[in-house]
């Protein structure tokens, strides 16, 4: 098994390259079970086109009988194309905003903490791009802007993990923050909106490379 990294408290938009189901399960289980108390309410949304939630590995790490509350905080959702993904992400963002607004009105309401894991975005994107490439790119940008908007809140309400197979990591891909990747390039939260709306995606070799360049705060 790969060494299992975990999400950091400061993570916002993370590109996660792994084909190890146990490693992926540990990342999700750690988010749901670490630093949980009565003042916070964690929810994990797992979105995929091919029903690949690692249930067997997750159950080994988080036995269902002893952790019923954890399983109530997991939402497994399907998105076959970008239209469906846009709808699902919009629902998640709206729900998170409503819960946060309720807490602002009533401090006794638990602070929401949301993790959105999207697996197989390349497949979801391709299913739309085969019919309408321009529409696929537009929806991808809109989805990422919604996730980025929520990830930039204070306190941090939502973090997004974009999960790709290990072999899909672009050759020579640098971690954000390294000299090679950050020299002269502002972090995603400080880039002008016009940069997100540019047609730069046409010059990149893959969805992962595009997301790494324009949206990711960290690459695992």
The DSSP H or E segment spanning 95 is helix 82-105
Domains of the chain: 13-219 (3.40.50.300)
Q: Is cis: bond before 195, omega within 30 of 0?
A: no
Query: Mean pLDDT over residues 55-74, rounded?
Result: 93
3-state secondary structure of 106: coil
Q: According to the model, what pLDDT value does residue 176 have? A: 46
Q: According to the model, what pLDDT value does residue 51 have? A: 83
Rounded CA separation 219/40 (Å) = 27
153 pLDDT band, cuts 50/70/90, is: confident
Neighbours of 103 (CB within 10 A): 17
Q: According to the model, what pLDDT value does residue 199 have? A: 39
Q: According to the model, what pLDDT value does residue 203 have? A: 34
Give the total residue count for the chain: 220
Q: Answer whether residue 8 shows pLDDT above 90.
A: no
73-94 confidence digits (pLDDT tens): 999 999 999 999 999 999 999 9
Q: According to the model, what pLDDT value does residue 118 have? A: 97
Query: Whose structure tokens read 């309401």?
Result: 109
CB contact at 8 A, 86 and 156:
no
């Amino acid at each position: 098994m790969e060494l299992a990294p975990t999400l950091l408290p400061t993570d916002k938009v993370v590109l996660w390259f792994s084909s190890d189901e146990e490693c992926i399960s540990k990342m999700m289980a750690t988010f749901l079970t670490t630093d949980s108390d009565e003042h916070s309410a964690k929810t994990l949304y797992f979105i995929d086109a091919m029903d690949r939630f690692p249930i067997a590995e997750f159950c080994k790490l988080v036995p269902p009988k002893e952790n019923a509350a954890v399983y109530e905080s997991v939402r497994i959702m399907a998105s076959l194309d970008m239209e469906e993904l846009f709808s699902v992400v919009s629902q998640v963002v709206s729900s998170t905003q409503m819960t946060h607004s309720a807490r602002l009105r009533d401090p006794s309401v638990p602070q929401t903490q949301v993790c959105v894991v999207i697996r197989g975005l390349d497949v979801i994107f391709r299913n739309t791009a085969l019919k309408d490439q321009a529409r696929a790119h537009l929806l991808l940008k809109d989805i990422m802007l919604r996730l980025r908007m929520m990830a930039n809140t204070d306190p941090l309400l939502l973090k997004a993990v974009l999960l790709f197979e290990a072999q899909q990591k672009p050759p020579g891909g640098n971690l954000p923050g390294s000299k090679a990747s950050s020299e002269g390039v502002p972090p995603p939260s400080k880039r002008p909106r016009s940069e997100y709306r540019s047609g730069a995606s046409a010059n990149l070799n893959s969805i992962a490379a595009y997301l790494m360049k324009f949206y990711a705060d960290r690459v695992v």
